[in-house]
Structure 1
Amino acid sequence: MGNTLVKTQLNDVKDFLTKSISILENFLNETTIAQLNVETEEDRAYVKLILANMRKLVVYSEEGLEACSVLLQSEPFQKAAAEKTLYKIYHQCIEEFFSPKNDAWFENSRSAYTGRNSIKFYRNVSEQISNLIKSLESDFQRIREELEYYETDYRTKMIQSK
């Protein structure tokens, strides 16, 4: 891919991460477990798991945002480093959103084909959490589709270099 295309994607991802971080931080800073009307101890533990995953997603996104900012300011533009960064963002942010390692929720891939939201929770969650994830999902899906190229391209390069 040409430098211009990679740089454009880096800018797009930077804007996406900035917006996602803002939305997640606002939710995390303004919402308490008590406000989410948690009824049972199991539900409370599950909500804590969801919130922990959201905090992890913010940290990964902030790291990706910082890397994007540094690369976009560097002269000359470092295409290889930018591609590696986009690959890392794909794995740490996008994949973590759709399939968190702590199993806070899961992706129902069949839902994506029907135009419905594909993120499903293992238990009933508050409307605030559900609405938050729904509001983020379309942007995460869009960036996922844009960055899937780096997933296959980077792996191909790694295999060829061996």
Structure 2
Amino acid sequence: MGNTLVKTQLNDVKNFLGDSILTLENFLNEATISQLNLENEEDLQYNKLIFANLRKLAVYSEEGLDACSVILQGSPFQKAAAEKTLYKIYHQCIEEFFSPKNDAWFEDSRSAYTGRNSIKFYRNVTDPIVQLVKSLEGEFQRIREELEYYETDYRTKMIQSK
């Protein structure tokens, strides 16, 4: 891929991460588990898991945003570093959103065909959490489609270099 295309994608991902961080931080700064009025201990523990995952996603996104900024400020443009960064963002941010390691929620891949949101929760969650995830999902899906190339391309390059 040419330098211009990679740089454009890196800029796009940087803007996406900045917007996502703002949305996540606004939610996390305003919402508390005690405000959710949870009825039982299981719901409380499940919502703590969701909040932990949202905080982790915010941290990964901030790290990705910082990496994008450093590469974009560098001269000359480091295409290899940019591709590696996009690969890491794909795994640390995008994949973590759709399939968190702590199983806070899951992706119902069949929903993509119906035009519905694909993120499903294992238990009932409050409307603010549902609305947050819905508000983020569309852009995460768009970036996932753009960065899937780096998933296969980067792995191929790593295997060939061995």
Counterpart of 1:121 in structure 2 is 121
| Shift of residue 107, structure 1, vs aligned partner | 0.2
Per-residue CA deviation, residues 41-67 of structure 1 (Å, 9 max, x unaligned), is 100000000000000000000000000
Q: CA deviation at 1:37?
A: 2.1
Aligned to 1:15, the other structure's residue is in SS state helix
- Cα deviation, 1:54-91, whole Å, max 9, x if unaligned, reads 00000000000000000000000000000000000000
Task: Write the mapping of 1:1-162 to structure 2, written as runs, cut at 5 A.
Answer: 1-162=1-162
Report the TM-score when normalising by structure 1. 0.99
Residue identity opposite 1:18 in structure 2: G
Percentage of identical aligned residues: 83
Give, in whole Å, the separation in 1 of the partners of 2:117 and 2:137: 7
Hey, what's the Cα distance between the residues in 1 that align with 2:34 and 2:143?
33
2: distance between equivalents of 1:36 and 1:10? 37
Which amino acid in 2 is paired with 1:15?
A: N
Structure 1 residue runs without a partner (length 5+): none
CA RMSD of aligned residues (A): 0.5
Give 5+ residue unaligned stretches, structure 2: none
SS, match of residue 120 in structure 1: strand
Give the whole-Å Cα distance in 1 for the aligned partners of 2:123 and 2:27.
Answer: 20
Structure 1: which 4+ aligned runs deviate by more than 6 Å?
Answer: none
Matched residue pairs, number?
162
Equivalent position amino acid for 2:100 in 1? P
